[in-house]
Structure 1
């Protein structure tokens, strides 16, 4: 008996834009209308996707992130280092975390409520708060200071790091006077003071005292560098971008001072966008930034120096951006399918021509290399329907036949 059944394959992947009767490729091979729990190899064959094995149990795990051998995730109100070392407890349960690794090995992370850093065993604030309240600065007689105006400010010091400074307090000192600084908070502090009638402050003493007196002019050390600076705020996206820590909070990307991830300037260290930021992904030649509605390219070496260029008229599903292993390219899942982008600003939607997808609330992306295959795997939450896919004739015919019986 002659077998008249047509041969199928090799398979070139999914296609839900063509109708069922046009899935044959002109120069050979076929598209699949759907592919559930299978992998399509480079040879065009289909193999059953492997199952899963429980590696680490948890009650409500989320926000898994890894960079080399270090991996972190949240479960309940606790941040863990893989596999189950508690790093930080008392977190808001269910608040998703974002992570970024700095060149010095510190991993900065935020859940939208706190911004901290860790190297594995514990977590600490990413920046140090400006001393509050500011100290009281007064003048009395009984010293040897020349008459004139002096300014004083303080900073907090912790583990070799320094906070932003209190706003300088100016005091008029009589001839032979004393500058008294009182009401300082507990803990280690740097006191900065100007010269006579000067407008630049210099380091004069490091102390744990809550009050200090200057009856004579002290030796002036390093100039104050942190005036007007504040700790970086918490946010839903954390990235390291060419010497700066960047934190996206709602529709604003906050940018730290260069090589000072604990400080930012509230007067200039931010980039506002017309909607919630869903992606901030640095690459060698710049960075890609997106909301749910648009995607931009911001070139140049420094984030404060470039001009935004729109590269896609649609946005990115939050949480889905990832790097391509052994490459300078990056990936993300857009509102029109998967996009691959170069380190120089070139973007290409690698799904849209064959697969129509709906939007999603958020998701995650994984670059996977296993069994000779390289795959980008996207998991989406809250996927919405779309009218873009072609009508499925087989299902429609089956339904019609059922109605006729």
Structure 2
């Protein structure tokens, strides 16, 4: 019996009619393909299952190293796979937390709370800028005249220092000294540095350091003066965090306006006003809320109603900003492809891929109609020779751009090899059954005549028999394969002898792992069309 094969498979296409999925000399699109992957040859494989490793309710915001999560407005330090948890930080709300791992530190923010975790110890994202409480004249050897005074907080464990306070001026009417009244508490600080200018000077210089909690400091001479840089740094506002070059940045939205606060280069947790496109407030304003941003070596992509590309670092933007796509991104879905100059995110029109030079594409847009969610999670993984990203229920082969769907893959966050769902923490890729189905659309086998379908053959490896569903205008039947094998072999299905139709809608389904290289049909035509 002559058979008619279809394949290789090109991924889902729900824009074409379900009877027109064949592409000459290329392959065949699929009407639907759920819980399956497509490899680079166009063969189908069942996706890996997920395994619940710890049941709990409404955990979310797993950190990139899977060492922290949030539940009920509390951040816990956790261990996996043998689960344990320790209360780490009480937050002001249970909103999703944005995480960023950089320079062996974890930075986080939920838009209200923020912080930095270094070697398991919590610190503020950026220490607050101190305020000089009071200045008064005392005895000493400073010359009569005007002096400027400023202070900074210091953490002598991490080596971090805050931005300098607003400069306060005092005039000594005669030779003497200056007593500086200091703030006594500040999160993340261990000491206070005091800066005093020379007499009639305009630049403050380091004069001394005291332990935080010391009420006052007396500057009585200028023998230890060392110049301060004069740069103004402010704590980075809480918001969705991302890196642009050497700057840790924060997205802060208010109503229909979005702002990106651009961090000071190499001073993570702080920002400073700059020239160019950066406004005097140290931020860039957009006419729509910013949904996501992702930095690359050549610039930064920012989605705010549409997609923009800022060449270079945001802190030093010199070139004109480019609009690369006329549509928005989905919050929480930015991803980086390991070892490739590619980043991406989910958008109004599916997965977007972008290079380091501002070139973007939305490969799903030409073949798939979809409704994008308001937020989501993207997970990049590689197994069975397939490099893929899964986002918002869709899976894309990052080499071929072929797309399928993943159901029951509703992770709220992911870190390392684990993810959170509403009912607990899961190992994202494990063993076990997953219900899968592939719809090949309607087939007429190249003939308008009525046809019988006495046999269907699948080149498949599967430990259990898979099912073939055959639908016609009047019938709907499901048949098991004659046999099964873990080796790639031709398996036969025997549809009912009474089936007769011009068009046959065909789909396969199962639950165990499988590899499908092709599907072929032994159709026989009658002499009638109706």
Could you tell me which of 325, 331, 339 is aligned with 2:344? 331
Q: Is the 8 A contact 1:166 1:227 kept in 2?
A: no
1:27-78 superposed Cα distances (whole Å, 9 cap, x missing partner)? 2532111112222333333333332211343322222343xx6654333322
1:212-252 superposed Cα distances (whole Å, 9 cap, x missing partner)? 233x42224332236642211110x2122222111111111
Q: Judging changes above 3 Å, is the alpha-carbon distance between structure 1 residues 193 and 118 closer, same or farther for their aligned structure 2 residues?
A: same
Could you tell me which of 229, 243, 249 is aligned with 1:225? 229
Distance between the aligned counterparts of 1:28 and 1:174, measured in 2? 90
1:180 is paired with a residue whose SS is strand
Q: Judging changes above 3 Å, is the alpha-carbon distance between structure 1 residues 32 and 174 closer, same or farther for their aligned structure 2 residues?
A: same
Q: Judging changes above 3 Å, is the alpha-carbon distance between structure 1 residues 259 and 78 closer, same or farther for their aligned structure 2 residues?
A: same
Residue 387 of structure 1 corresponds to which residue in structure 2?
Answer: none
Distance between the aligned counterparts of 1:87 and 1:240, measured in 2? 28
Write the mapping of 1:162-311 to structure 2, written as runs, cut at 5 A: 162-186=161-185, 188-208=191-211, 209-214=214-219, 216-225=220-229, 228-235=232-239, 237-250=240-253, 251-265=258-272, 267-291=280-304, 293-301=305-313, 303-306=315-318, 307-311=320-324
Q: Is the 8 A contact 2:142 2:222 kept in 1?
A: no
TM-score when scaled to structure 1? 0.85
Residue 401 of structure 1 corresponds to which residue in structure 2?
Answer: none
1:92-141 superposed Cα distances (whole Å, 9 cap, x missing partner)? 453111222223x1121111122211135232212111224x3211225x
Q: Judging changes above 3 Å, is the alpha-carbon distance between structure 1 residues 45 and 229 closer, same or farther for their aligned structure 2 residues?
A: closer
Distance between the aligned counterparts of 1:313 and 1:221, measured in 2? 55
1:31 is paired with a residue whose SS is strand
Shift of 1:361: 0.4
Distance between the aligned counterparts of 1:11 and 1:28, measured in 2? 9
Distance between the aligned counterparts of 2:40 and 2:140, measured in 1? 84
Q: Which region of structure 1 is more displaced relative to structure 2, 296-305 or 251-260? A: 296-305
Answering whether residue 370 of structure 2 is matched by residue 357 of structure 1, we say: yes
Flag structure 1 segments of 5+ consecutive residues without an equivalent. Answer: 382-391, 399-405
Residue 80 of structure 1 corresponds to which residue in structure 2?
Answer: 77
Shift of 1:393: 9.8
Distance between the aligned counterparts of 2:101 and 2:48, measured in 1? 31
2:120 is paired with a residue whose SS is coil
Flag as ranges the 4+ runs of structure 1 deviating above 6 A: 392-395
Could you tell me which of 103, 123, 136 is aligned with 2:134? 136
Q: Is the 8 A contact 1:73 1:82 kept in 2?
A: no
Q: Which region of structure 1 is more displaced relative to structure 2, 205-214 or 365-374? A: 205-214
Task: Report how many aligned residue pairs link the two structures.
Answer: 378
Shift of 1:195: 0.7
1:175 is paired with a residue whose SS is coil
Q: Which region of structure 1 is more displaced relative to structure 2, 145-154 or 69-78? A: 69-78
Q: Judging changes above 3 Å, is the alpha-carbon distance between structure 1 residues 183 and 41 closer, same or farther for their aligned structure 2 residues?
A: closer
Q: Judging changes above 3 Å, is the alpha-carbon distance between structure 1 residues 234 and 116 closer, same or farther for their aligned structure 2 residues?
A: same
Q: Is the 8 A contact 2:293 2:303 kept in 1?
A: yes
1:287 is paired with a residue whose SS is strand
Distance between the aligned counterparts of 1:284 and 1:87, measured in 2? 37
Distance between the aligned counterparts of 1:46 and 1:144, measured in 2? 84
Give the RMSD, CA atoms, in angstroms.
2.7
Q: Is the 8 A contact 1:131 1:185 kept in 2?
A: no
1:62 is paired with a residue whose SS is coil
Write the mapping of 1:76-155 to structure 2, written as runs, cut at 5 A: 76=72, 77-83=74-80, 84-86=84-86, 88-103=88-103, 105-132=104-131, 134-140=132-138, 142-155=139-152
TM-score when scaled to structure 2? 0.66
2:19 is paired with a residue whose SS is helix
Distance between the aligned counterparts of 2:281 and 2:34, measured in 1? 49
Distance between the aligned counterparts of 1:207 and 1:229, measured in 2? 21
Flag the structure with larger Rg. 2
Q: Judging changes above 3 Å, is the alpha-carbon distance between structure 1 residues 277 and 88 closer, same or farther for their aligned structure 2 residues?
A: farther
Distance between the aligned counterparts of 1:80 and 1:253, measured in 2? 29
1:259 is paired with a residue whose SS is coil
Distance between the aligned counterparts of 2:147 and 2:52, measured in 1? 66
Q: Judging changes above 3 Å, is the alpha-carbon distance between structure 1 residues 129 and 278 closer, same or farther for their aligned structure 2 residues?
A: same
Q: Judging changes above 3 Å, is the alpha-carbon distance between structure 1 residues 202 and 371 closer, same or farther for their aligned structure 2 residues?
A: same
